[in-house]
Structure 1
Amino acid sequence: MKNADHQAGYAPVNGLEMYYEIHGTGEPLVLLHGAYMTVDAMGEILPGLAETRRVIAVELQGHGRTADVDRPITYEQMADDVAALLRHLGTEKADVFGFSMGGGVALQLAIRHPGLVRKLVIASASYTSEGMQPGLHEMLPSITPEMFAGSPIEAAYKEVAPNPGDFPTLVEKLKRLDITPFSWPAEDVRRIEAPAMIVVGDADAIRLEHAVEMFRLLGGGAMGDLAGFSKSRLVVLPGTAHFVPPGSGVLDRAGWLLPMVGGFLDAPVPETGPDAGSGA
């Protein structure tokens, strides 16, 4: 362990020894990385959020320092793992920031464990595989472990993974995750009570139309002048791709994102229920 505002450890959850780090102090926020990534790959987002919050940054099944186990990688299972980690840490409720695959995990966490989630930031993620760009669907079947040979992604994995030789297994499991069609019920998304901020780049792997659709399912899209603002927000980042080329991805826009995310998370949670807004 490190000092009080920077800790690292492993938690026994659902057959995993899940690696996590805790940065900063304040209200808890869970940070969920994308596919093939580690905690370190979240860039300036992590230290920026940790300036005002207790950030719980995890490494999901088979990623980074969390060794793989004999089961598929699925959004539902990863969400259950995160929920078990929060309970292990004694965290009753937290904000959640998820990028890409981590955004899908965050959505499933809010669907499957709603009591644990206060607010959501969903960056570059969808609730159905149809939300992804057609070009991405065309590319995914061609992915092989050899494509990553000598890449920073492979190097980062081998530097910290408990079993560095497992990288080809991670690639195959993530490929299966990505090419398997999924479509979570729109009604499940609509029932999410946590206020959500949907973030997408204007040249992202997620279709802009899908981001707008998800925003509407979460209560957004009405004319604020007449209907007031919803509990959710939509952010479209200009000139921004998913991850490459370097410097142009969503996570590279920390200078834009951190003030917007901070303002969203700091705002009071809107009242819900039949008496909300009635003055009762």
Structure 2
Amino acid sequence: MEPDTTGYADVNGLHLYYETYGEGPPLVLLHAGMMTIEASFAPLIPALAQRFRVIGVEAQGHGRTANIDRPITYVNLAADVVALLDHLGIDAAHVMGHSTGAGTVLELITAHGDRVLRAVPLSGSVRADGMVDFSEPGAFERYADKLPTEADLAAMREGYERLSPHPERFDEFFAYMSTSDAGFAGWTDEQLAGVTASTLIVQGDNDFATNEHAALMKTLIPGSQLLILPGTTHMGVPRRVDLLLPALESFLG
């Protein structure tokens, strides 16, 4: 589906790419690490655009947005979303993000709650120990069924090399993103207890974060809802259109 509009917002030192679809209440989509708007959300956008003004964002160093000399952190990524909302004249929006995008959603609801209507973190976590530890010896073999496939990795490279202002930097950027959240401490119980935005936590039952951690998130975020998608890996969560769209219609409607 072709966007209705495309553009760049000069925010926080970034030339930040975004595109919009449809009309209605604003819904910001935040892709996963090493992905793009299209790669993360193409299956969902046509249906969402029938009810919302969908705003897809390509984060620092991803897609058409060039990298800059600034750490890629959830604090910085969330600040970019807030600045984009200011640029577009939007007071508050629904936000949905996958993986790295889910971390950005969690930062938005803890630090910028007045800018969020409803929030949908897909495959997120609020603690580093809620995720599978791939640094453990033999972890890649033990959790091979959770990992991106060769086709997933090839698609990441193809999208980066096709869209990036610096297509030759894929390997360098991939290595950086693989360690960018090292030392990430998550959000405190107090921060999460202060969340006021209605939140739908979505997780695959074979995701990077454990199902027990998803249940903990539901406990820590007041009034939140939890949806665990059966037979679904981390990369597969935004592709489960059959289960996601009815849930989103109910939650965002």
What amino acid is the match of 1:62? G
Separation of aligned partners in 2, 1:168 and 1:74: 19
Q: Which residue is 1:198 aligned to?
A: 201
The amino acid of 1:53's aligned partner reads F
- Higher RCO (CA < 8 A, seq sep 6+): 2
Alignment of 1:268-279 (within 5 A): none
- How many aligned positions are there? 240
| Structure-1 separation of matches of 2:132 and 2:240 | 21
Q: Give unmatched runs, 5+ long, in structure 2.
A: 141-149
> Equivalences for 1:122-141 in 2 at 5 Å?
122-135=121-134, 138-139=139-140
Q: Aligned residue for 1:73?
A: 72
Gaps of 5+ in 1: 140-146, 220-230, 244-248, 267-280
Moved more, 232-241 or 126-135: 126-135
Q: Distance in 2 between matches of 1:181 and 1:13?
A: 24
1:236 aligns with 2:231: no
Give 1:29's aligned residue: 27
Q: Does 1:47 align with 2:46?
A: yes
C-alpha distance in structure 2 between counterparts of 1:202 and 1:125, whole Å: 13
Map residues 12-161 of structure 1 onto 2, 5 A cutoff: 12-41=10-39, 42-135=41-134, 138-139=139-140, 151-161=154-164
Q: Give a deviation string over 1:2-32, Cα, whole Å, max 9, x none.
A: x9x7110000010000000111100001000
Residue 260 (str. 1) matches residue 252 (str. 2) = no
Q: Which moved more, 1:256-265 or 1:130-139?
A: 130-139
In the alignment, what sits opposite 1:270? none
1:22-65 residue CA offsets vs partner (Å, 9 max, x unmatched): 11100001000001000111231222211210011000000000
2:171 to 156, 168, 172: 168
Instruction: State which of 251, 255, 277 in structure 1 corresponds to 2:238.
Output: 251
Shift of 1:103: 0.3
Secondary structure class of the residue paired with 2:191? helix
**How far is 1:71 from its partner?**
1.3
The amino acid of 1:206's aligned partner reads A
Distance 1:186 1:9, change over 3 A: same
Write the distance in 2 (CA, Å) between the matches of 1:136 and 1:91. Answer: 41
SS of aligned partner of 1:151: helix
Matches within 5 A, 1:203-214: 203-214=206-217
Q: Is the 8 A contact 1:19 1:58 kept in 2?
A: yes
2:86 is paired with a residue whose SS is: helix
> Does the Cα contact within 8 Å between 2:122 and 2:238 map onto a contact in 1?
no
The letter for the 1-side match of 2:239 is D
The aligned amino acid for 2:38 is D
Does structure 2 conserve the Cα–Cα contact (< 8 Å) formed by 1:200 and 1:235? yes
Cα gap change, 1:40/1:112 in structure 2, threshold over 3 Å: closer, same or farther?
same
Give the distance between the partners of 2:177 and 2:241, measured in 1 at CA.
Answer: 26
TM-score normalised by L of structure 2: 0.89
Distance across 2 between alignment mates of 1:164 and 1:71: 19
Residue 186 of structure 2 is aligned to residue 188 of structure 1: no
Q: For the residues of structure 2 that align with 1:102 and 1:180, how far apart are their CA atoms? A: 18
| Partner Cα separation in structure 1 for residue 45 and residue 182 of structure 2 | 29
Rounded Cα–Cα distance in structure 1 between residues aligned with 2:33 and 2:120: 17
Answer with 1 or 2: which has the greater Rg: 1
The aligned amino acid for 1:218 is: I
Contact kept, 8 Å, 1:28 with 1:56, in 2: the verdict is yes
Q: Is the 8 A contact 1:25 1:54 kept in 2?
A: yes
TM-score (norm. length: structure 1): 0.81
Counterpart amino acid of 1:201?
G
CA shift, 1:185, in A, is 1.0
CA contact (8 A) 1:97 1:122 kept: yes
Report the Cα distance in structure 1 between the residues aligned to 2:103 and 2:45, rounded to whole angstroms.
Answer: 19
